[in-house]
Structure 1
Amino acid sequence: MKGSRWRILLYALLLGLVLTLAACGGDDESKSDKSGDKKSGKDGDQIYSIEDFNVETKNEGEAMDGGHLKFGVVTDTAFEGLLNFNFYSGAYDVEFIKWFDESLLSADETHNFTQDGAATFEVDDSGKVFTFTIRDNVNWHDGEPVTAEDWAYAYEVIGHPDYPGVRYGDDFTVIEGMEEYHNGKADSISGIEVVDEKTMKITYKEASPSLLSGGIWSYALPKHVFQDIPIAEMEKSDAVRKEPIGMGPYKVKSITPGEAVVYTKNEDYWQGEPKLDEVTVKVVNPKTVVQALESGEVDTVHEFPTDQYPDNADMSNVEFIGNVDMAYSYIGFKLGTWDKEKKEVKPDPNKKMADVNLRKAMGHAIDNEAVGKQFYNGLRWNATTLIPPSHPDFHDQDNPGIEYNPEQAKKLLDEAGYKDTDGDGMRENPDGEDLVINFASMSGGETAEPVANYYIQSWKKVGLNVQLLDGRLQEFNSFYDRIGQSGDDDPKVDVYAAGWGVATDVNPAGLYGRDALFNFSRYASEENDQLLEQGVSKDAMDLEYRQKVYKEWQELMVEEVPVIPTNYRAKLVPVNKRVLNYSVAHNWGNYYEIAVTQEEPVKAE
């Protein structure tokens, strides 16, 4: 489940052992009658709190038989169209996938695996051997049963040297024999055994708390569909892009590349026949999302731009629900490149941003609390560490992070030798050479450009000449290609602003490990390696030990500054008043239960 929730987002990433919805303000009985109370800010602007939103719809009415739901994915770019959990990489593709495919394992509100999913599991006394059993009534959309061989095949494809996707990482290397198979030294994975048609056994190298909280790859791949396709070509195949099948509540009916997917209900769905007859999922531009919601063009969207909420909080035909997002925004520094052959980070001490004091100074120069209030009306707030508050048992709330202090920024730059030697107001590097820092930032909603400009102006005030890469914001897909999603890091990028959708497991190795492609800063150190290893060790089965490890890791990342967390986020979702049974709880995925009370969406008055 971990890889599926990365939002590159993905993600991607994209949480911990003991997340509680009550701690997020999403499941508190005392708040059940609230839907976004507002408070007055210092300048008269309305400041909102995520604690004041319901986590699920309270719409009333009787569900009709059937109906057609219209769902919007808010983005200013086309979706990539890699419609398979084993191959997708962009955040938006998963919003299309989750309607027709799903995890074999379910999770509870603490993100620990349960026995309620399409597969159950047993763990031996060593904590290293898991035996999974797929339920008999779980079938692919073409009628073929989902088998243990399908599940094992997903591991064989992702672990194969020819695999073109981004999934291979710590979820896989922890399996006995996986690295030998991946390196071409073995024809099979010794730690994976297909016991019978519905039973699979996996032996891990050691017991780890991560295994029970998202560290198991739980997405099968229909072998009867893919087995004749060369692994290197699977990503581009019709089975991924044009005719995907899954085991979820809806089946793909038609695809308009980059724009929309239409689904019909899967009457053979293992949890029961879905309540809706049809679902359309389509791209909706952030600039027109309000119009689309008010007119009934869409019933709901995957996420509403929080910067647009204050002007639309009273939209008459929707109910806004919300939760603390499993994500954070950040600014990253390019500290190396990706070694495609070794599939690991290659730090480069000669990179422009290699000086830790330069990085710290850039952190001290920006006021992220002000960004949250000015641009997001309190629906984003200052981020301090790289484990968000959605992991209350692991987020170090006492760590202040890199605090806003422009004078400290100037002092650090002076001491590190970054001084204005020619009197133009901009600092040169310690060798007296012009210092121009190229900043990559994404296009998107209304705040994308002003936020990027705010950061640039803040850095200018401490004497740093930071310029937008190519003089403009980058389109989503182009942005991630340039910062290294394909493994090729654009050398023009020095600094970038992005976001992580974090995973169900608190383990941050998938984003900051030496072998993580998503480690776009290309940071690596022996101390980081050691702490990440300790966080998933057998000793970490003890909660206090794991808390201590991740407290030290958060401190290390504040000290080393490979990235600066900027804002934690609220996730807001407007839902048309005809829609029943919709939720933004972190462990919710019951799409088959969604229903509508009338044929057409309610339109705004």
Structure 2
Amino acid sequence: MKQVTKQKRIAVLLMSLLLAFSLAACQNTLNTSSDTTKGSTGEKQEETSGEKIVNIGMTDTLTSINPLLMDATEILKYAAAFEFLPLVELNSKLEFEGMLASSITTEDNIHFTVKIDDKAVWSDGVPVTAEDVVFTVLKLASPKLANASMALYAFEGIGDDGFVEEGATEISGVKAIDEKTVEFTAKYKMALTTFENTYGRYILTVPKHILQEVADEDLAAYDWFNAPTVVNGPYQVTDVDLQHFVTYTANKNYWKGVPKIEKLNIKILPAPQILTSLQSGEIDFVQQTTGNILQEDYGNVEALSNITVYYGAPVTNQSIFFNTTSVTDTRIRQAILYGIDRENILNGLLNGKGEIVDGFLSSAGPFYDASLAPTAYNPEKAKELIKEAEADGWDSSRVLNFYVNSGDTTFTQAADYIAAQLGEIGIKIQVTTVDLATLMSTAGSKSFDIMAVQYTYAPVDPYPDINWLLSADGWTGFANGRVAEALAATQTTSDIAEIKEQYLTINTIAQEEVPMISAYVISAMGAVNNRLKNATPDVYGSFINVQNWDVTE
């Protein structure tokens, strides 16, 4: 989820957030003769002679593939973006690259000019226009769809709740200037990188000429999105089971070039099945933020002769968030930080593939400051803090509920270890593992004491995530004036040294007040079958040029 002012992006990034579900295997080999095989739907399907099919393995499940219901999970973003392009995307060099837009510019950090690529057309041949973008934003801001994830309240004409008035037909802060130009007007200064990362990457434009007659109240459940007839991206969905798979066929009229792979499948499967599925060729590609290769399988995956592995930069943060309105004593949160042997977890469960930091930033980003040393494991210090808190009324018999994503099998092990360690210093923890949807619901309702989730803070723009998370409305419920001032200062300058200094202030406060703990930052493994060409799994940019992927014998 992403916000500017109350922004939330789980970029889970979410960040990647990992959820285990089973999936019957489907054949993914390059067929050189006509045959009948069992497909990803579980039903028999005919395959054309010479047809090229690629399967992408993912371990999250989908809540939807409707781009108007963008929910902060990376899997929804990528699944929908195969059909409906974002304005821009981050490439592997952490540069914003035009997708639907040819450029995004600003002169005052208030007005943002988006130029739609002159060549961009829908699959039915109709040009993609500025009106399509305006229409999409209007629907994203509709109270009938009630999508709170987009933080559109940052723009003029949209209420502080992120929605327009019911029945609104225009937004004063989102205007079509000409056929290919959209102007966004913000209510306050916003860095260009924030606009690009928060909105450019997550506004997936839909066709006005197809959807304009559909009532807002019908759009959320509109079945058309499960098999859209008109797209502007390289692929379009032909079948979907949100728990198990999405199947795509190539958009033969894709304006950036006809995809070389005729059929693309997302296969959703449990993390323990990734190794055997890579080995057998049942999946061809695993990207770091949507596919969880188990840490204990890393060596075996590296040894596969048919697979090449890639370790991503350390950007996926295994974050532990406190509900500071529930765990109100700072000393207890500090004690928990001191009471977790994070280095032991990193080396024992992740084979050292990552790093330990305090706060939100990792060494992969331009604003990381190594002068902030991570808090060392110190159980005796933790016990002292607990005693101080008890003297002021903390009830040590209280059991803190700790919610963990059941699909993240590595961290479920870590959570049990953490609970045992904290038990030794006098803090009682009850670990509850839940699926991703339940975890997000629990987080949103703040019905937790502690929760953990993998969260990818965009290295080039951590502002939206931190600004929302460290707020009264965010998951932590933690509001701090110094944090707010430092965050605001990052939006009014392009000087990297100055921005770095502000984030050092923020991370220092996070270390002292402990609204969150970075358990570890993962250098996650991605993998690709050697038959797949022009495809490199990376934390960012893996699917930018998916139309150029190809397979060989």
Q: Note whether the superposition's TM-score is higher than 0.5.
A: yes
Aligned to 1:246: 231
Aligned pair 1:11/2:20, yes or no? no
Aligned pair 1:572/2:546, yes or no? no
Counterparts in 2 of 1:200 and 1:93: CA distance versus 1, 3 Å: closer
Give the C-alpha shift of residue 433 in structure 1: 6.6
Give the C-alpha shift of residue 445 in structure 1: 5.0
Q: Secondary structure at the match of 1:297?
A: coil
Aligned to 1:221: 206
Aligned to 2:256: 271
Aligned to 2:373: 400
Aligned to 1:151: 133
* CA distance in structure 2 between the aligned counterparts of 1:270 and 1:435, rounded to whole angstroms: 60
1:457 to 417, 420, 434: 420
**Residues 51-84 of structure 1 deviation map (CA, whole Å, 9 limit, x = unaligned):** xxxxxxxxxxxxx986111111124xx4322332
* CA distance in structure 2 between the aligned counterparts of 1:438 and 1:596, rounded to whole angstroms: 48
Aligned to 1:168: 150
Aligned to 1:551: 504
Structure 2 unaligned spans of 5+: 18-48
Number of matched residues? Answer: 508
* CA distance in structure 2 between the aligned counterparts of 1:518 and 1:314, rounded to whole angstroms: 46
Give the C-alpha shift of residue 301 in structure 1: 2.2
Aligned pair 1:481/2:470, yes or no? no
* CA distance in structure 1 between the aligned counterparts of 2:11 and 2:108, rounded to whole angstroms: 35
**Residues 97-154 of structure 1 deviation map (CA, whole Å, 9 limit, x = unaligned):** 233232222555554435x543223646445433322223322334433211111122
* CA distance in structure 1 between the aligned counterparts of 2:357 and 2:88, rounded to whole angstroms: 31
* CA distance in structure 1 between the aligned counterparts of 2:467 and 2:396, rounded to whole angstroms: 32
8 A contact 1:335–1:354 mirrored in 2? yes
Q: Secondary structure at the match of 1:541?
A: coil
Q: Which amino acid in the other structure matches residue 201 of structure 1?
A: E
Aligned pair 1:414/2:387, yes or no? yes
Q: Which amino acid in the other structure matches residue 294 of structure 1?
A: Q
Counterparts in 2 of 1:259 and 1:125: CA distance versus 1, 3 Å: closer
Matches within 5 A, 1:23-422: 67-75=52-60, 78-84=61-67, 87-107=70-90, 111-114=94-97, 116-121=98-103, 123=105, 125-169=107-151, 172-179=152-159, 182=163, 184=165, 188-204=170-186, 205-206=188-189, 208-211=191-194, 213-217=196-200, 218-241=203-226, 243=228, 246-302=231-287, 303=291, 304-336=293-325, 351=326, 353-391=327-365, 393-417=366-390
Q: Which amino acid in the other structure matches residue 101 of structure 1?
A: F
Q: Secondary structure at the match of 2:313?
A: strand
8 A contact 1:254–1:262 mirrored in 2? yes
8 A contact 1:149–1:223 mirrored in 2? yes
**Residues 475-507 of structure 1 deviation map (CA, whole Å, 9 limit, x = unaligned):** 2222221222xxx232xx211121112236423
8 A contact 1:380–1:570 mirrored in 2? yes
Counterparts in 2 of 1:290 and 1:548: CA distance versus 1, 3 Å: same
Aligned to 1:595: 550
Give the C-alpha shift of residue 178 in structure 1: 3.2
8 A contact 2:313–2:523 mirrored in 1? yes
8 A contact 2:146–2:163 mirrored in 1? no
Counterparts in 2 of 1:408 and 1:544: CA distance versus 1, 3 Å: same
* CA distance in structure 1 between the aligned counterparts of 2:257 and 2:472, rounded to whole angstroms: 38
* CA distance in structure 1 between the aligned counterparts of 2:178 and 2:312, rounded to whole angstroms: 41
Give the C-alpha shift of residue 405 in structure 1: 0.8
Q: Which amino acid in the other structure matches residue 120 of structure 1?
A: S
8 A contact 1:5–1:502 mirrored in 2? no
- Over the aligned positions, Cα root-mean-square deviation in angstroms equals 3.1
TM-score when normalising by structure 2: 0.83
The answer to which of 256-265 and 450-459 deviates more is: 256-265
* CA distance in structure 2 between the aligned counterparts of 1:564 and 1:137, rounded to whole angstroms: 46
TM-score when normalising by structure 1: 0.76
* CA distance in structure 2 between the aligned counterparts of 1:327 and 1:554, rounded to whole angstroms: 17
* CA distance in structure 1 between the aligned counterparts of 2:341 and 2:199, rounded to whole angstroms: 38
Give the C-alpha shift of residue 412 in structure 1: 0.9
